[in-house]
């Protein structure tokens, strides 16, 4: 059969074999040669004669024809080039053909267009190492068995639009020199594209991958378009190379998406992409990328050891977790996140890097807000939580509206240069009262680092009650101790002071002093002095404590003065004189104040008023001018030293809270 494709009018004249009342059309196969029957239903002698006219490079028109494996092998044998041992076809048209068994087109050369539009393959379709010199059309074809195109070469357009792959589809090491179109293709099982090369645009728009999709080490020389595709199984792009635009807009990943070690040298678009599981970009390289997202991920978006080499990049994501451990940002970066726990340990921040909570849902390409239903389930807040800054140079880091209550700061560098916005939140001490010895007590409200919480919980006892335990509970050698936390508190205090945020800096000063007080490596005298400082005024930061001690000191001074300090009466001066030699000598003496009143007469309103003058003047470091007994003088001297100090500490605490 040497019928040239296109000589038969469309729709073609069918064979009609087997027409009946139930099937008036009969066989749809195109009539072969000059006969009235298709290749399958023609007489054996006529078929043998027709096959004898074929030669390498012959064109075939077998539209609508049902072909079994025996007939296909006869066609293959008739068109085999004896010099190469490979079957060679000219222009072939298998539109709506049905291949009832295995379809052996492996190592075949198609010198002209190969049309398999709406063809049906009931068995394995073998196109391994086949070469398509012109367009290859498989639109709306149905592969009921495996479809094997391993190492096939498509020198022109390859069209698989709306093709259905019921079993595995193999395109490993395939080379697509022209445009590859898999729009709306359906892959029911595994789709293998490992190490394939797409020289021109590869389009997988609206393709559906029910099983796993393997694109490991694939090279996309030009655009790769997966807009609105659906990946229900694992999508693997490990080691893939995207030279130009990689478009995954509105793609839905039901399973895990792996882009480990992928290379994006152009634009990487994941606008409105939705990941129901994990999205991994570990060790991926983004060269010159300016914007990534917005995307939604119910699991973790991983950028572990990834590299962003552009001068500026913005990442927008609504995700349960975002991991940037060991990631490298060589230019400035902005991470706009929602619902996410961010891991930044050992990341490299070479330029200003901002982490911020985006206040409203992100907009997709169509302007509609992204669906965050999986993340918002149960009323979870859209807050951003920073998990760790271990090993990070924080000199360029800017945090806005970030929850830092569980963040690990120990091990970070240049924390004194970090910028922490007013919307950031730290942990607080337990609100429930506890006992300190026999006395009830409560923790002083302040900002607390997560590491201090873990350390206090590790200590156990009454001092550890109510504090959350850390990840290394039971292994104190792995927890940060007071000697480490004192330095962290100090650096964060400096950062707040540099930002002119004195009230918040005061909390970190309190934490610094607490850690110094509990650091057993420090001298005992220093720790005891710090304990007195804490007891008197909360390190000069608790006005209520200093005022309470001041009032207690004033009350004690008042009571001691009334009971022991005021004499019975103000002693009258006595003057005595002598005369001798015409000279009169006078001497005036004031008797020492004497207190001899019984206890019942010492506490009176008059004596209390005089004692109050002593107390008030002592607070402002002045002498009252009252006549006092020796014990009263000692009490006044002690109060003139201690009470002004307590007043000063109270004033200092107030100033630390209202200072700009």
CA distance 15 to 586: 157
Number of domains into which the chain is organized: 2
Strands 86-93 vs 80-81: parallel, antiparallel or unpaired: antiparallel
pLDDT score recorded for residue 364: 82
Same domain, 502 and 558: no
Same domain, 547 and 628: yes
Which of 577, 584, 567 minimizes the C-alpha distance to 631? 567
CA distance 305 to 455: 30
Of 461, 491, 522, which one is at a domain's C-terminal end?
522
Inter-residue contact 6 to 64 (CB < 8 Å): no
Q: In a 3-state reduction of DSSP, which class is residue 263?
A: strand
CA distance 172 to 165: 15
Q: In a 3-state reduction of DSSP, which class is residue 250?
A: coil
Query: Which regions of 328-406 does DSSP assign to beta strands (E)?
Result: 328-329, 332-338, 341-343, 348-349, 353-357, 384-388, 397-400, 402-403
Same domain, 474 and 563: no
Element (H, E) at 130: none
Look up residue 480 and give its two tokens: 């940060």
pLDDT score recorded for residue 80: 95
Which of 2, 153, 168 minimizes the C-alpha distance to 75? 2
pLDDT score recorded for residue 638: 79
| Residue 28 within a domain | no
CA distance 264 to 281: 11
| Residue 142 within a domain | no
Q: Which domain holds residue 458?
A: 434-522
Look up residue 406 and give its two tokens: 């569980």
Same domain, 511 and 551: no
| Residue 553 within a domain | yes
Look up residue 621 and give its two tokens: 């470091």
The per-residue b/e assignment along 81-114, b for 16 or more CB within 10 angstroms, e otherwise, is eeeeebbbbbbbbbbbbbbbbbbbbbbbbbbbbb
Residues of the chain with pLDDT under 50: 1-10
CA distance 317 to 296: 6
pLDDT score recorded for residue 602: 77
Helices (H), 460-576: 482-498, 502-518, 524-537, 543-560
CA distance 230 to 204: 10
Same domain, 517 and 557: no
Exposed, middle or buried: residue 479 (CB in 10 Å: 0-12, 13-18, 19+)? buried
Contacts of 559 (CB under 8 A, 6+ apart): none
Of 522, 554, 585, which one is at a domain's C-terminal end?
522
Same domain, 549 and 646: yes
Same domain, 654 and 552: yes
Same domain, 443 and 476: yes
Classify the C-alpha dihedral 376-382-387-388 as positive or negative: positive
| Residue 20 within a domain | no
Look up residue 366 and give its two tokens: 């169509």
| Residue 480 within a domain | yes
> Peptide bond preceding 640: is omega within 30 degrees of 0, i.e. cis?
no
| Residue 624 within a domain | yes
Same domain, 510 and 567: no
What is residue 565's DSSP assignment?
I
Same domain, 637 and 556: yes
| Residue 635 within a domain | yes
| Residue 146 within a domain | no
Of 488, 522, 556, which one is at a domain's C-terminal end?
522
Same domain, 567 and 505: no
In which residue are the tokens 């997709």 written? Answer: 364
């Amino acid at each position: 059969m040497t019928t040239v494709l296109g000589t038969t009018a469309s729709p073609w004249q069918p064979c009609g074999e087997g027409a009946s009342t139930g099937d008036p059309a009969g066989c749809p196969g195109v009539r072969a040669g000059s006969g009235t029957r298709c290749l399958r239903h023609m007489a054996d002698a006529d078929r043998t004669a027709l096959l004898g006219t074929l030669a390498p490079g012959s064109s075939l028109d077998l539209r609508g024809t049902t072909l079994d494996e025996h007939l296909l092998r006869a066609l293959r044998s008739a068109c085999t080039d004896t010099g190469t041992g490979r079957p060679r076809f000219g222009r072939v048209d298998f539109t709506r053909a049905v291949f009832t068994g295995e379809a052996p087109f492996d190592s075949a050369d198609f010198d002209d267009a190969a049309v398999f539009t709406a063809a049906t393959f009931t068995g394995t379709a073998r196109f391994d190492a086949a070469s398509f010199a012109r367009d290859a059309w498989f639109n709306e074809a149905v592969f009921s068995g495996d479809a094997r195109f391993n190492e096939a070469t498509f020198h022109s357009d390859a069209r698989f639009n709306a093709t259905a792959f019921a079993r595995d589809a193999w395109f490993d090491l395939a080379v697509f020199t022209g445009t590859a179109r898999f729009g709306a293709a359906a892959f029911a099982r595994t789709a293998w594209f490992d190490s394939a090369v797409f020289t021109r645009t590869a389009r997988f728009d609206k393709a559906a991958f029910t099983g796993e999709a393997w694109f490991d080490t694939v090279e996309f020389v030009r655009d790769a378009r997966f807009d609105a595709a659906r990946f229900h199984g694992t999508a693997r792009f490990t080691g893939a190379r995207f030279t130009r635009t990689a478009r995954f807009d509105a793609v839905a990943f039901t399973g895990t998406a792996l882009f480990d070690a992928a290379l994006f040298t152009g634009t990487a678009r994941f606008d409105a992409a939705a990941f129901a599981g994990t999205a991994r970009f570990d060790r991926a390289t983004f060269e010159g990328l300016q914007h990534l997202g917005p995307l939604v991920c119910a699991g973790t978006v991983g950028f572990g050891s990834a590299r962003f080499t552009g001068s500026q990049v913005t990442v927008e994501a609504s995700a349960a977790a975002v991991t940037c451990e060991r990631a490298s940002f060589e230019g400035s970066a902005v991470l706009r996140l929602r619902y996410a726990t961010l891991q930044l340990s050992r990341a490299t921040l070479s330029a200003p890097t901002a982490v911020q909570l985006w206040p409203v849902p992100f907009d997709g390409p169509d302007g509609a807000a992204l669906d965050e239903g999986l993340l918002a389930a149960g009323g979870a807040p859209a807050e951003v939580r920073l998990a760790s800054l271990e090993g990070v140079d924080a000199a360029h880091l800017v945090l806005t509206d970030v929850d830092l209550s569980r963040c690990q700061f120990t091990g970070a560098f240049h924390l004194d240069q970090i910028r922490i916005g007013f919307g950031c939140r730290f942990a607080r001490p337990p609100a429930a009262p506890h006992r300190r010895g026999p006395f009830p007590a409560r923790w002083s409200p302040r900002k607390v680092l997560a590491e201090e919480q873990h350390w206090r919980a590790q200590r156990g006892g009454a001092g550890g009650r109510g504090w959350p335990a850390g990840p290394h509970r039971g292994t104190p050698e792995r927890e940060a101790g007071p000697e480490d936390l004192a330095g962290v508190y100090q650096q964060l205090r400096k950062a707040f002071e540099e930002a002119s945020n004195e009230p918040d800096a005061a909390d970190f000063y309190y934490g610094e002093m607490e850690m110094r007080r509990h650091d057993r490596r420090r001298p005992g005298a220093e720790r005891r002095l710090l304990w007195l400082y804490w007891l008197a005024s909360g390190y000069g930061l608790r006005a209520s404590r200093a005022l309470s001690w001041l009032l207690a000191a004033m009350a004690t001074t008042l009571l001691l003065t009334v009971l022991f300090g005021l004499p019975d009466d103000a002693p009258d001066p006595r003057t005595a004189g002598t005369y001798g030699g015409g000279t009169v000598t006078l001497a005036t003496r004031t008797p020492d104040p004497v207190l001899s009143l019984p206890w019942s007469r010492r506490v009176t309103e008059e004596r209390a008023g005089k004692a109050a003058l002593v107390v008030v003047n002592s607070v402002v470091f002045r002498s009252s001018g009252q006549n006092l007994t020796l014990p009263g003088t000692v009490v006044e001297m002690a109060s003139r030293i201690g009470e002004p100090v307590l007043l000063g500490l109270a004033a200092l605490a107030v100033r630390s809270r209202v200072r700009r």
